[in-house]
């Protein structure tokens, strides 16, 4: 199964060692993310550190492991789908997730219920992803 993972889902896995974190390393799931997710992480790194019981070293180690399981796609790989994504994305901040999902013809892993308000790209919650694997 291929999925585009959104930053909030990724951040929740970084904050708490739970089912979401386990699913990131599930062999049957191939994960993708737009390149701006790296900027998002850097932007919210302090917030993540405040919310987690993990040490800075543990967080860095997990980020290195994630580089092996999440393929970060450069914008030019899916830029031709941005206009279509703008038309369907309920939130302008999520356009790149939709553009990448359209390019890859796959779903999005997000717990943001607002993203399910369109019918072009399937959006899976963590609970739904758990049921599928």
Q: pTM for this structure?
A: 0.89
Q: How far apart are the first and last CA of the chain?
A: 9
Q: Which domains does the chain have, with CATH numbers?
A: 2-132 (3.40.50.1010)
Residue 110 three-state SS: coil
pLDDT in tens, the chain (133 residues): 999 999 989 888 888 878 888 899 899 999 999 998 877 877 877 888 888 877 888 877 877 888 888 999 999 999 999 999 999 999 999 999 999 999 999 999 999 999 999 999 999 999 999 999 8
Residue identified by tokens 């049921």 is 131
> Which of 10, 14, 8 is closest to 48 using CA atoms?
14
CB 75 within 8 A of CB 103: no
Distance of alpha carbon 127 from alpha carbon 125, whole angstroms: 5
């Amino acid at each position: 199964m291929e999925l585009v993972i959104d930053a909030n889902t990724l951040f929740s896995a970084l904050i708490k060692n739970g089912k979401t974190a386990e699913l990131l390393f599930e062999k049957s799931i191939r994960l993708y993310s737009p390149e701006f997710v790296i900027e998002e992480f850097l932007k919210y790194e302090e917030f993540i550190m405040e919310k987690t019981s993990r040490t800075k070293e543990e967080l860095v180690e997990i980020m290195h492991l994630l580089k092996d399981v999440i393929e970060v796609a450069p914008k030019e790989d899916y830029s031709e789908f941005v206009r279509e994504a703008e038309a369907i994305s309920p939130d302008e901040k999520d356009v790149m997730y939709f553009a990448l999902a359209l390019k890859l013809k796959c779903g999005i892993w997000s717990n943001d219920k607002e993203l399910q308000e369109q019918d072009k790209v399937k959006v899976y919650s963590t609970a739904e992803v758990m049921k599928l694997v």
